[in-house]
């Protein structure tokens, strides 16, 4: 998050306590003896050994003949990131299996419904869920999202993976300043077509019977409204076809874009 220092990010992302974060940073900075580390980190001397043992269990520091040293952050935090990815994928697979069982169990469900999802991760998840349910090539409008394309690109990586090979018809707002390398990344995905139009006034994805619309939330947060309604989705697709025909090629996209 913008404005966060290293200590705050360690606490948020790794779940470290304030003492643990400060001690870890002190060791990274070269402090090695327990008393020296405690003084550098502003931690009571009577707590330093407990904190160091906790960091050792997490694989962040090791004890050597010269005191304590940090393990390479790229290795230690990289291992933690991989663990989270593996656990997330296992849980996601379990959820998909549960969804299939519940589908067989259900005798009545609402095929037409509206859901509001707050936060970038939930908004992207709503789009991903719609894409996973059908193989149709989606329509994507990018308005505010286009302005924040570089910032959002890491979060959009999973969505781009799903579009690889399936493709998408993406219409950018003409006035959006999108970095050339971001345009090329998106345009290089097989099947993705990019055009620009002044008619783009919001962020939206339309696929099969679902429309996902991005709207402003409190404090700049992302909010998505997911509408599942075949008639509404089909009407939007017809309108998007019209916009597409009059849209212009994106100059900085990869060669061959139509």
> Per-residue pLDDT tens for 51-84?
999 999 999 999 998 899 999 999 999 999 999 9
- Token pair for 97: 């299996």
Q: What is the mean pLDDT of each run of 10 residues along the chain (258 residues)?
A: 80 95 96 96 96 95 93 94 91 91 85 87 86 89 84 78 85 88 86 92 92 81 90 96 93 52
Contact 191, 256 (CB under 8 A): no
How much is the pLDDT for 1?
53
Contact 211, 238 (CB under 8 A): no
How much is the pLDDT for 258?
41
CA pair distance 26, 165, nearest whole angstrom: 48
As a 3-state breakdown, the chain gives helix, strand, coil percent values, each rounded to 5, of 50, 20, 30
How much is the pLDDT for 256?
42
How much is the pLDDT for 257?
45
3-class state of residue 53 by DSSP: helix
How much is the pLDDT for 11?
95
């Amino acid at each position: 998050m913008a404005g966060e220092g290293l200590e705050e990010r360690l606490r948020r992302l790794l779940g470290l306590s304030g003492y643990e974060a400060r001690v870890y940073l002190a060791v990274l900075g070269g402090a090695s003896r327990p008393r020296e580390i405690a003084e550098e980190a502003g931690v009571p001397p009577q707590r330093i050994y407990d904190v160091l043992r906790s960091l050792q269990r997490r694989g962040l520091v090791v004890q050597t003949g010269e005191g304590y040293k940090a393990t390479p952050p790229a290795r230690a935090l990289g291992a933690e990131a991989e663990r989270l990815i593996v656990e997330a994928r296992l849980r996601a697979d379990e959820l998909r299996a549960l969804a299939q069982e519940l589908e067989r169990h259900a005798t009545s469900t609402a095929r037409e419904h509206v859901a509001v999802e707050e936060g970038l991760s939930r908004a992207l998840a709503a789009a991903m869920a719609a894409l996973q349910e059908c193989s149709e090539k989606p329509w994507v409008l990018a308005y505010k999202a286009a302005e924040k394309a570089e910032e959002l690109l890491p979060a959009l990586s999973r969505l781009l993976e799903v579009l690889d090979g399936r493709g998408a018809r993406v219409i950018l707002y003409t006035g959006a300043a999108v970095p050339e390398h971001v345009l090329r990344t998106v345009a290089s995905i097989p099947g993705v077509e990019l055009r620009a139009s002044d008619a783009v006034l919001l962020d939206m994805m339309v696929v099969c019977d679902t429309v996902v619309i991005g709207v402003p939330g409190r404090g700049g947060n992302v909010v998505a409204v997911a509408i599942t309604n075949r008639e509404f989705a089909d009407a939007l697709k017809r309108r998007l076809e019209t916009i597409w025909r009059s849209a212009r090629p994106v100059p900085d996209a990869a060669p061959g874009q139509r």
